[in-house]
Amino acid sequence: MKVSPETKLVIALGAGLLSIIVLGAMQYHAARRVVEDNRWVSHTQDVLRELEATEKQLNDADGCAQSFVISGDEAGLASCQQASEKIGRHLQNLRTLVADNEPQQHRLANVEASTGVSLRAIQQEIDLRKSGQLQAEGLAQMESSIRRSIGDVRTATADMRGVELELLRQRQQASQRSDRSINLLIIAGSFAAFVLVGVSGFALRSDIAARQKAQAVLRESEERFRMLVETVQDYAIYRLDTEGRVVTWNAGAERIKGYKASEILGKPFSCFYSEEDRQAGKPRCALEVAAREGRFEDEGWRVRKDGSRLWANTVVTALRDDSRKLVGFTKITRDFTERMLAERSLQESQEKLQASEKSLRELSLQLLSMQDEERRQIGREMHDSLGQYLSVLKMKLDSIRYDSQTGRLAATKQDVEECAALVEQCVKEVRTISYLLYPPMLEELGLKSAIPFYLDGFSKRSGVRTTFEISKDFDRLPRDTELIVFRVLQESLTNVHRHSGSATANVRVLRTAEAVILEVTDQGKGVPAEVLQESARDWIGMPGVGLRSMNHRVRQLGGALELTSTEAGTQVRATVPITVSSQALIKASA
């Protein structure tokens, strides 16, 4: 059966129109998918921001409470209350965000439970501090409880964050796949349009009237395709000629760029770039790469008609005819300004949190330094004044006792002798307290002489036998370094006496070119496994306020405090760096 040219034309045009309509529908569906994928990406980022904000407010509440416990100043409690209220709002936002995700709802329940425990513990600490009933032992236990509960919160939020980051990765991949799909559909639609023009021209060569009819149909199909592209609002989709001038303009481009079609058609697309980018040749480079490789993708600042800037993701795709001749480009632009600003805000929040933590550490170090200075002053006062007065009093009482041996004041001889014994004991106690507060020998002679003297007194008071090992050529160290090493020694031996049950303690001091190392080893019952495991987490769970503060001070100087324990005993090892400038200062002062 012979088919007329008109029938061939109708068949060809029908097939072409059907292809364009199908491609257009697929493109519209792909565009909707891109919008939906981006919405889910934004939703996941909202969850991550709320989790970050919850942890930050909990840390702020804990910091305010610790500041109040240390200083007693109630001025900061309002910030603590505000942080607690903000935590409630963030948790409410999280409940709304994960309402469609049942597993995350269970994880959020763990976060809320752990957060509630932390806030109640912090409030209990504040209340006890206000009532004056907070003792050192109770403070240590309560601080340990707060650290554990905050650790539970971080673990729970980390669990949720891990799930959300995985969702974010999957959704970003889905968004990228959708982007590729819509780009391919646009290219396919454009290619189909060009193919339709060629087929129509071939079919109309034998009949001018039929060709004109086919051309009319082709124009109609192109208009439909153009209208389909122009109705997309969330993407700027437009075509460029081979020189980069704008040929088509859709409604999304007008919304994102601010130009009307009558204002931008025929103008170079380089006007969307900043002056710096134009001078750097970025517009021309984008077209050259797209022409050479078929596609070019970039992300950066672009300029709207009113001069405002937007953060845009752009894809430039080369368009070629059947002979592979370059006929132009398609360009798709997405406005990512809100996403970029949100990421930048999140990064700035993290930087502020790190700065706050650093300030808190510096404040803690300053408080500890002031405490040591005060102890040094008290120790000197007791040693230089009270100790001397008591010594003189003892001497006078001794002279009275000697006079009584001649027969005078015989009735008070026993009383006088008892007074002399008590005064002698007072002198010993004053010297001991003075040495514990701030040993004068440490400042005058250094660690090499101060440690043996302290070990001798410690053994007499506690009954724990000690050994001491140090090199003969051990020189003086910077004052702060010597003080920290001596404080770690004091606290370590106190723990040996109170907790280990060991009858002996071995002290060893080593020095390298970069650091001084203190090792205190006992043969006691060791540290329980659960406590040792907690202490590995930045020493937060370590029992005893002394060791926690010493670890903090060692770390401030760039050192490390290590605790190892077995059934055979426990070892505390402190490594404190020695700076070159500090050594030079010691030699200069000598």
pLDDT digits (tens, 9 = 90+) for 531-542: 666 554 444 444
What is residue 528's DSSP assignment?
Answer: -
Nearest CA among 246, 278, 277 for reference residue 259: 246
Per the document, the length of the chain is 590
Torsion sign across C-alpha atoms 56, 62, 65, 69 = negative
Q: What is the mean pLDDT of residues 76-81?
A: 78
> Coil, strand or helix: which one is 503?
coil
Q: How many CB atoms lie within 10 A of CB 56?
A: 19
State yes or no: pLDDT of 97 exceeds 70: yes
Note the pLDDT of residue 532: 63
Radius of gyration over every alpha carbon of the chain, rounded to an integer in angstroms: 40
State yes or no: pLDDT of 479 exceeds 90: no
CB 48 within 8 A of CB 164: yes
Confidence band, pLDDT 50/70/90 cuts, at residue 506:
very high
pLDDT digits (tens, 9 = 90+) for 129-152: 777 766 666 677 777 878 888 888
Nearest CA among 451, 415, 462, 13 for reference residue 196: 13
State yes or no: pLDDT of 401 exceeds 80: no
pLDDT digits (tens, 9 = 90+) for 519-533: 999 988 877 766 666
Q: What is the mean pLDDT of residues 202-217?
A: 64
State yes or no: pLDDT of 411 exceeds 50: no
